[in-house]
Structure 1
Amino acid sequence: MSQKILAINSGSSSLKFKLYELPDQTVLANGHVDRIGQRNSTFTFEIHGKQNVQAEAMKDHLAAIQAVVNGLLTSHVIEHKSEIVAVGHRISHGGRFYTHPVRIDAAVKAKIKELSVLSPLHNPVNLAGIEALEKILPEAQEVATFDTSFHATIPAKAYMYGLPYSYFEDHDIRRYGFHGPSHEYVTLKARELFGEQQTHRMITCHLGNGASLCAELDGKSVNSSMGFTPLAGLLMGTRSGDIDPEIIPFIEERFHLSSEDVRKVLNQDSGLLGLSGISNDVRDLSEAAHEGNSRAQLALDVYVHQIQQYIGAYTTDLDGLDTLVFTAGVGEHSAIVRQAVCAQLGYLGVKLDEAKNQANALSIEAPDSQVKVAVIPTDEESIIARDIIQVLGLN
């Protein structure tokens, strides 16, 4: 019986998975659950190039993980759960404690739970996934891949906040950065595709329900738009991104909110959803804006403007720009967003080929563009699988 490993990638409203067979790391099955917690959630399951899409309400991530394991069994990709010898999980926040992937034990789970206050949309569902798979696949070893690890190379001048130094020294308050497996994967892929010289100075844009930009110098992260928590940086699907800190005590006092109430507002009721009043999904907002909805258009305009601001700032960090990469759900599929972002980057020498952009081609820059512009589908699961193999010494 061959050994198989399962990579689980839980986002705030989605879950992706891939099942690999060792030793060749052949992908046997993959899929994703979208819009978890909504009535219109879908479960997409692919085996040997044949895709099956099911409209199946998923109330939470636990239901999504159970559906994945059931799908593997009923499709006979596996005949018995014991074939899966290890599971890797993408974990949002590792703080200063985890700069590399680790085998999951009781102490690691406790630390993931402790850090949930810093990543309330992710660490709790990550931990729930670990505990669910402990019950579903009790014989499998589990490995954690942390979002924050890739950003351990960010220099102090970029990760320090202008707060009393003791907050950093005694309480680890600093910028950490997130979406590490995605930024790492597309960085490695871009350098493989375009060469080290073309990717010397690179900005990667992970644009999904959660969104972040990363500046990479010679393949190493030197800045990230997310900060102490994944709430910081860009406006996102339901997250506010950066705001004036004085807004927090103001709304606490004005609306008689607790700190937990404010945390919910900023993480779940803000962003594209809060501005538009319609949806957290760029697809829905693009359609509504096309039909003349001014608040949907405003939400998209703010979103695009903030992406442009970060690109400008990170070009300064890098002292120039060689390659700009778009990835994740919006980055990979929304030609409208890519076009809007790049429309104001002419001063950097960015120029799109509109036909290639509409086709979601790999390289979408015009022949006379001074900057390579790429659309690279992310594959965080391959990073998770690599980490499983390295940590557990599997071949």
Structure 2
Amino acid sequence: HGGIFGNFNTPWFYALAVLNGVLLCVPAPAQPGGRLALLGARSVLLGYTLYFFLVFLPFLPLSLLAVIAIGTGFLMLTPLVLLVVHLRILADDVAAVRGHFAGWVPRAVLVGGAAVLPLLLTADYYHARQTLHAALAYVYTPDYAKTYDLDAASLARTLATVREHKDRNRDLIMGSQQPFLSTYFNWLVLDNLLLSESKLTTLESVFGTGLNRLNNWQSDGFARTAPAPTPAALRHLTARSTYDARQQAWVSWVDVEVGNVNPAQLAGEYRTTFALPAGCWVSDYYLDIDGRREPGILAEKKAADWVYTQIVHQNDRRDPGLLAYAGPDQLRLQVYPVVGSTPRRTGVQITHKEPVELLIDGQKVALGSADSVAHTSEPVTTPGGALRYTTAPPGVVTGS
């Protein structure tokens, strides 16, 4: 999909072209130190000049025919002329500073400067490789004892690049790849393998990069992402607690009402993380949808995250809510969409042995009452018997 010339519609190519022209045209300073610094700056962009010379090198024989036929061949000769001028200016700079510094200094500056762009490019591609592999491991072979810290911006750029390389709808002239650079990217980042469409879509959905791709202007590197909607906020937090004598435990419903800060917001999202007190576990969940109270469905965490993200990012006409563990004692609650000034209501059922307090977004509610139920030391067992929770009687200190 490389086209005839390649795709260079990214801001970096234009910015480096302007900078290269300025550095080559700026008058050389009289001071040896300034001339040496200018030599270093010009050396950095030698790789840029050499790159375009190599890209257009196969077309040089055609440039002579183009000059004779329609005169546009002069444009194809530009990279060759620029390389000659660039090398000539660098040679003049080296000769000018040679008498003021040791012989190895200008050579070291020249070689070191010329290596800057290739090293920066390699470092960026290697970081993209590490991020992509970490994301694939997180989705397909997760290590639950490991904490993942992924660079979302780098992953989004990498997935966008992979998708551009897979795009077969580019025009014949520009194509979708960059000569040499795309080959280097595929080798270093992807090990010359292809990322399947299913994996690409899954990564975009799980990590939220699909929305950026859908909302981008179709203008390659000049794309801009539509601003994210303003997050919805917690309005009211209430609790309803009853004591279950059979379980010898409290069963509390925590009712959450959320709404947009800006009533004009069309599709806000409420998202929060809160701590679950010790001795508590989630036993049920609900979300109100169009006046109906829909119970939650217990699902595998990554699958639930994927479905929720897919609905949000594809503007699906469904109203998802998501309650998931964000850590050993942390819960993550998400509700979408919150439309206009209409509030959304959701709720979490928590089973707990003792009265506790729950804090969500600065609002606190009491679950259970210490005065309404006599103390008991009988253990509470979760359904299935996987967990037994026992309260120590007054005056007894337990420890391990």
Query: Would you say same fold, with TM above 0.5?
Result: no
Task: Give me the TM-score of the superposition, normalised by structure 1.
Answer: 0.25
Which structure's CA Rg is the greater one? 2
Task: Give me the TM-score of the superposition, normalised by structure 2.
Answer: 0.25
